Structure 1
């Protein structure tokens, strides 16, 4: 079977794209069903998390209301103790902080005395040394301020792998620019800004068809996120489709992973984890309330989900790959047992159908 870069007949081209689509679909299912986080990555994540304080449910709700994308929060002084500094001009999130009163005594027969600012230093030293018995009582709550890790100068390399921002790669940086231009021509303008978060990587706005990418991401993660958000637009997510969040997210992951596979891009751990979680959530939704016989038919429903995804893949993959080649980037699709080795020849320009200037709602 000829590769993307070889001159071929329309029939050969159609067969090749069909085969790549089938291979990419199977890759999506395999990744979604079988991927599990590496134990080392999970341990690294837990160690990182342990450096930050736990909060009450009430404070968790307060933090979520003020910044739903906050990932790790701590006070100004706590961050400084960890070697990080809150960036100038950042606005903190207000939470409730308990104010406790400390009492101390030397013997059980002695009355409790309140520890205050005027307590002699000698007594304070004895308390620190554990020479005096102490107890605490909650007096009242007052407001305190915490910041998210994204509001500090914590470098990306200090984040654990599971919440990492990707790696630098000049090829992926160049591909990001080219595919952004393709997205613009499809009516999905792309902008890259600091979203003041390490959890929010990007988003697609269905009302305007705009795509926003977090500038904190490194090249590989930025490209992966762009393809995911483009997939939301191509699939018309956000419109009244009646699809659940899990189905929308899995569909976008599936299409973006298929495109990444065609380009030979490494699938990031973040994308694998996200797709795996949403796939399992979607399967659970499909099986809820179903009989054993109906559950056995779930695989057929998954095939129905892949029909529009496969159609969009066949429409956009050749044009994206051609655009990359015309810019001097030679994508290397992931090879399978059925696929022939890639050829050196360049894709002729006439194969690439130029996308429409305005995004058609049927994308």
Structure 2
């Protein structure tokens, strides 16, 4: 099988993103990416364009280790993989640490690799994956947990607001949520406003308001989807406006939102893994 070059993969990303936006599939892609939040958005995009029903991907060797084989005739999904080189850190005192401890890993670049979705394989049944199924008790528990995790930094208030307003963040790091909205929508709005705060949008002057809103909404969409909360009915209005958007801005917003979503998810999951106080 002939592998694609990095240039070809980059072109696929550019063309794929243009087509997704033009076809009004941007929100669908973000819902897909919420299942693959540990992958870069560009790799997620390559997987989405090649296999929209994908749920779990791995390389040939990894599938073999899990007791599964790729079905005959299945076409590989090409993604980027980092090239890591181990080097000796010359600034570390060699008398204080062993040689192995002096090794550091440096990113040398990227290469194209083949992966396959689980639906393209057959063999041994897989154990239930914690990263794929999330059951944290619904919106009520998740909203409470979100407030407890980020409450030290953001004061959260619930007040009646105008019907078309979900909530807002003020410069003193106070988030006001519309008490007339459902818990699900208040949760989604809370994630959106926390993303604004964590991305320092109040002080960021180089980005337009539209780009800031896109970053916050993509973050909210990915985090909500990761925890099983469907926020599409709230997000489509934000995302549909990018059908004629600048592709470079969308790619940059995806990268920023990807990093922020992973940070928020990690903080929430760490808090959820802690034992409850007696």
Q: Rg bigger for which structure?
A: 1
Which structure is higher in strand share? 2
